[in-house]
Amino acid sequence: MRKVGEIVVIFLAFLMVQNVKCELKDSCERGDQKIKRYLLYDVNPGEGFNLRRDVYIRIANLVRKLIKVDNWVLVLPPWGNLYHWQNVQYGLYAPWKNFFDVASLNKWIPVIEFDDYLKAEGSKVGSAYILQHYAEGWTGRWEEKYDKKPCIQKHNFHHRVGLDGSWFGQTWGTEIQVQNFTCLSIQGQASTLLPLIKQDLKSRSILIGRAETILHDEYGGKWYWAARQSMRFANHLQEEATRFRKNQLDSDDVHDKTEVKEDWRDTKIKRGAAVGGPYISVHLRRKDFIRARGDEVPTLKRAAQQIKNLLKKENLTTAFIATDAPTEDFQDLTTLLSGYKVVHYEPHPDFFQLWNDGGIAIVDQIVCSHARYFIGSYESTFSFRIQEEREILGFHENTTFNRLCGKKASCEQPAKWRIVY
Ligand SMILES: Nc1nc2c(ncn2[C@@H]2O[C@H](COP(=O)(O)OP(=O)(O)O)[C@@H](O)[C@H]2O)c(=O)[nH]1
Ligand SMILES: *[C@@H]1O[C@H](CO)[C@@H](O)[C@H](O)[C@H]1NC(C)=O
Ligand SMILES: *[C@@H]1O[C@H](CO)[C@@H](O)[C@H](O)[C@H]1NC(C)=O
Ligand SMILES: *[C@@H]1O[C@H](CO)[C@@H](O)[C@H](O)[C@H]1NC(C)=O
Ligand SMILES: [Mg+2]
């Protein structure tokens, strides 16, 4: 009888341990359905679209490491009215599928749209960590570290008394309830966060705020490029760019030798194999860059001169211009380039209605990516993303890593971040 009692006690203890384990570690199996955990992230509201694409790669690679241990899913942060998207109504948020092929992202790591997260989990998050630098700045030599600290920058969250200590905050147009809210001073890269996330076993969902604070694990390395290749543009944008190239620029993938595989994982790039359409493409960044990078941004006259030289050098007569400049400036540039065919993408109002500033910018980028020769703007992430696209398409690097010079007739050219496998 004693024996049976002992066995029962041991069995109960075993059950309890199992239970505790399940509660602590949300990765416990229920049937064959592994419990999902969600990583959400957000970026400083002031950052533009193309830096945000870069932050995605940093976080996606963190998730790549997390899914080795647990069943993590990355929640894609909706696109709000970014600083440059002047036609997007305040408070409206667009899903990633408006701009990217989400099925293609999913071939790299598991991702879902925020809307689907809300449907599955409701507007709750276990822990939020808002990243910040150390108030005292860099301390001595470089070391990776993080510490819970008082918040030093503005954030959306506020404490509400009486509700089990939860915090509440507007996030992408939805009020999110956060159980544990922490500001985290950090210096390091994405994987610096691994121990923190692995220790936080109670939270099924974790939100990382101000994710641009952490660096890449390896910018330009193998995993950088794998994540980057998974970021294919949405079909409706690719098709628009294809139509435009065909109609306005006599350019198509067969002649240009820029055909891509259905699945980016099957792609093996032959450098220099891409020819590109019979035009040069220019990304002429203006607006805030004129103020912020004055000496490095050319006047329209100097830009026109450089474009003419390139057209002669490439023995071409057509220049495609992507720019955020006002229409008058584009007209002036066209005049300065008289004798050449100067092409600019103007969307049909229906297309604009649907995909807005973000969609147009991507069509501009795709068209730039397929040109025989590309020249971009100094330190513009918009230009950087075009250069990457050209790497993926297999262009010779001489036709890709070029920038317009500002005041000086010759200037330092962009670093060649070549694709690696
Ligand atoms: N359509 C279009 N939009 C542009 C162009 N250049 C800049 N923009 C807009 O301005 C934003 C620039 O911000 P960002 O993406 O951060 O790139 P960066 O500021 O150049 O590094 C883009 O996201 C676009 O919305 C362009 O050539 N064409
Ligand atoms: C929140 O923090 C408290 C105290 O550190 C901890 O006991 C609790 O498990 C945490 N909850 C979650 C969901 O992380
Ligand atoms: C330049 O292009 C023209 C027309 O496409 C062609 O006839 C000519 O041979 C080219 N010249 C050189 C030097 O490639
Ligand atoms: C690329 O540029 C370098 C440096 O200007 C030059 O030496 C090389 O010949 C170029 N290669 C091709 C294929 O144009
Ligand atoms: Mg920017």
401, 413, 416, 417: which is closest to 296 by C-alpha?
413
List CB contacts of 398: < 8 A, sequence separation 6 or more: none
Ligand 4 atom at shortest distance from the alpha carbon of 398: 1
Q: Is the CB of 361 within 6 Å of ligand 1?
A: yes
What is the 8-class DSSP label of residue 118? H
Give the number of the ligand closest to the Cα of residue 278: 3
Cα distances (angstroms) measured from residue 227 to each of 71, 210, 312, 356: 19, 20, 37, 26
Global pTM exceeds 0.95? no
Burial class (CB in 10 A: 0-12, 13-18, 19+), 158: exposed
76, 74, 43: which is closest to 61 by C-alpha?
74
Q: What is the pLDDT along the chain (421 residues), one digit of tens a residue?
A: 455 555 555 444 444 444 333 443 444 444 335 789 999 999 999 999 999 999 999 999 999 999 998 999 999 999 998 888 888 888 899 999 999 999 999 999 999 999 999 999 999 999 999 999 999 887 678 899 999 999 999 999 999 877 688 999 999 999 999 999 999 999 999 999 999 999 998 899 999 999 999 999 999 999 999 999 999 999 999 999 999 999 999 999 999 999 999 999 998 888 999 999 999 999 999 999 999 998 999 999 999 999 999 999 999 999 999 999 999 999 999 999 999 999 999 999 999 999 999 999 999 999 999 999 999 999 999 999 999 999 999 999 999 999 999 999 899 999 999 998 7
> What's the gap between Cα 399 and its chain centre?
24
Q: Is the CB of 179 within 6 Å of ligand 2?
A: yes
398, 388, 405, 380: which is closest to 49 by C-alpha?
380
Fold classified for 233-399: Rossmann fold (3.40.50)
Give the number of the ligand closest to the Cα of residue 82: 1
Domains 32-213 and 233-399 share a fold: yes
Q: Whose CA is nearest to atom 16 of ligand 1?
A: 48
How far apart, in whole angstroms, are the C-alpha atoms of residue 77 and residue 146? 24
Q: Is residue 183 within 8 Å of residue 168, measured between CB atoms?
A: no
Give the HSE-up count for residue 223: Cα atoms under 13 Å, Cβ half-sphere.
Answer: 16
Q: With left for phi above 0 and alpha for psi between -120 and 50, is residue 179 left, alpha or beta?
A: alpha
**Can you say whether the dihedral through the CA atoms of 311, 317, 323, 328 is positive or negative?**
positive
Active-site residue flag, 23: no
Residue boundaries of the structural domains of the chain: 32-213, 233-399
Which of these CATH numbers, 3.40.50.11340, 3.40.640.10, 3.40.50.970, 3.40.50.720, describes 32-213? 3.40.50.11340
- Contact residues of ligand 4, CB 6 A cut-off: 396, 398
Q: Is residue 67 within 8 Å of residue 109, measured between CB atoms?
A: yes
